Amino acid sequence: MDVRIGVIGTGIMGADHVRTLATSVRCAQVVAVCDLDQERARAAVAGLGDIRIAEKPTDVVAAEDVDAVVVASHDDTHEELVLACLDAGKPVLCEKPLTPTPDGSLRIVAAESALGRRLVSVGFMRRYDPGYVAVKNALRQGAVDAPLMFHCVHRNAHARPNLPSSALISGSAIHEIDVARWLFEEEITRVTVHRSRPSGRVVGDTSDPLLLVMETASGVLVDVEVFVNAQYGYDVRAELVGESGTLSVDDPEAVVLRTARARSTRVFQDWRDRFADAYRLELQDWVAGVAAGEQRGATAWDGYAAAAVAQAGVQALETGTPSRVHLEPRPRLYQRLTDQD
Ligand SMILES: NC(=O)c1ccc[n+]([C@@H]2O[C@H](COP(=O)([O-])OP(=O)(O)OC[C@H]3O[C@@H](n4cnc5c(N)ncnc54)[C@H](O)[C@@H]3O)[C@@H](O)[C@H]2O)c1
């Protein structure tokens, strides 16, 4: 039987998830969607068959024909909606960040722990990207021996005017924070943030780009260049340096064009092209998990830990000094550091 899904928030990301679920994920059926902007909800389901447009998010959560919920509305709505799903006993895939600050995520962790079973998955889709998965497998197999450093680049073409500088950390670099925890299977303990001279292309007063330097518990250094007005496209890359070699994640294989004495490949426009496979694989695994009664992918604890690192990063940005990451003790429900293991 298909897993019947309700999607809350049908903006850029939610509409993409609705289309992927409806067209490319086995045993999934989108039965209801909801957005504060009804026009956006209508546009998201156009041409995808019989999908109900609910008036309120709580209608989606409560609906008898909804087995599981995707939350892709704005960050500050996640806590309330995820808690409502827990109340209703329904599995939920919540887009990243789980909540804008760690205290909200901690309330979700507490509610889920009280329930005694994991229902929350967080949309850290890079855990499903074939490139990152290959790096993790190679690392585990000892291809480069022990890890020492992880150099990351995270560039977007354009950001909205006056984007708060903190959003470069809590909205963008949070992906690298999660990937580092997942790859190295340990926590990040300290964050330092450096500002370059701001790019003249920035509209407003966003401090862009930033350079984050994070340290893991065992002493691996993770640096992330976050540059959200890079102009030329969406570009995410990483190189892991080990004791005997390196492992790189670059763009997925693309056609190489040779013409007029030049060789070129395309640069992606945004995350939806670059991580299309990852989103599809994430949704497929989540649906399979719901059908099997298992939580898959990043847990609420992962969402909490990433938010705590991001908060330390924002503090480091504001103070100009290194900031320690504070984590509450991990409840028994989340014994393993990551759920992929
Ligand atoms: N995993 C990723 O790579 C990735 C990429 C982009 C965005 N995101 C996350 O996805 C979420 C959505 O981002 P987006 O870029 O699609 O934003 P968006 O602004 O395009 O869409 C958000 C939509 O949510 C709707 N909404 C807000 N509050 C609502 C509520 N209470 N009930 C119903 N609908 C509500 C808005 O009307 C809007 O249409 C954010 O949490 C964002 O951080 C994740």
Return the amino acid letter for 114: A
Q: Which atom of ligand 1 is nearest to the CA of 16?
A: 16
The answer to whether residue 136 scores a pLDDT higher than 50 is: yes
The answer to whether residue 186 scores a pLDDT higher than 80 is: yes
Strand locations in 196-322 (E): 210-216, 221-227, 235-242, 246-249, 257-259, 262-264
Give the integer Cα–Cα distance in Å for 137 and 6: 33
List pLDDT tens digits, range 276-332.
999 999 999 999 999 999 999 999 999 999 999 999 999 999 999 999 999 999 999
* 40, 73, 177, best to mutate for ligand 1 pocket (most atoms within 8 Å of CB): 73
| C-alpha 73 to ligand 1 mean position (Å) | 4
Q: Which atom of ligand 1 is nearest to the CA of 125?
A: 1
Give the integer Cα–Cα distance in Å for 90 and 335: 22
pLDDT of residue 173: 98
Q: What is the mean pLDDT of residues 179-197?
A: 97
List pLDDT tens digits, range 306-316.
999 999 999 99
Sequence-distant (≥ 6) Cβ neighbours of residue 49 within 8 angstroms: 22
262-264 and 257-259: which strand pairing? antiparallel
Helix, strand or coil, per DSSP, at residue 63: coil
Percent of the chain with pLDDT strictly greater than 70: 98
| C-alpha 111 to ligand 1 mean position (Å) | 23
| C-alpha 22 to ligand 1 mean position (Å) | 19
| C-alpha 193 to ligand 1 mean position (Å) | 27
pLDDT of residue 152: 98
pLDDT of residue 183: 98
| C-alpha 219 to ligand 1 mean position (Å) | 35
Q: Whose CA is nearest to atom 31 of ligand 1?
A: 77
Q: Which atom of ligand 1 is nearest to the CA of 57?
A: 32
Altogether, the residues listed in the chain come to a count of 341
More confident residue, 253 or 93: 93
pLDDT of residue 336: 65
Q: What is the mean pLDDT of residues 184-193?
A: 98
The answer to whether residue 339 scores a pLDDT higher than 60 is: no
Q: Which token pair is 92?
A: 């939920």
**Backbone φ, ψ for residue 106 (5° rounding):** -65, -35
Contact 166, 300 (CB under 8 A): no
Check: pTM over 0.85? Answer yes or no: yes
List pLDDT tens digits, range 53-105.
999 999 999 999 999 999 999 999 999 999 999 999 999 999 999 999 999 99
pLDDT of residue 159: 97
Q: Which token pair is 151?
A: 């150099």
pLDDT of residue 340: 46
pLDDT of residue 254: 72
| C-alpha 8 to ligand 1 mean position (Å) | 9
Identify the helix (H) or strand (E) that includes residue 99.
none
* Binding-site residues, ligand 1, Cβ < 6 A: 8-14, 34-37, 40, 57, 72-75, 77, 95-96, 123, 125, 171, 271
Task: Using pLDDT thresholds of 50, 70 and 90, give the confidence band for residue 255.
Answer: confident
Per the listing, tokens 């299309």 go with 276
Contact 204, 228 (CB under 8 A): no
List pLDDT tens digits, range 95-125.
999 999 999 999 999 999 999 999 999 999 9
| C-alpha 40 to ligand 1 mean position (Å) | 11
Task: Using pLDDT thresholds of 50, 70 and 90, give the confidence band for residue 337.
Answer: low
**Backbone φ, ψ for residue 221 (5° rounding):** -95, 135
pLDDT of residue 250: 83
pLDDT of residue 253: 63
Q: What is the mean pLDDT of residues 132-141?
A: 97
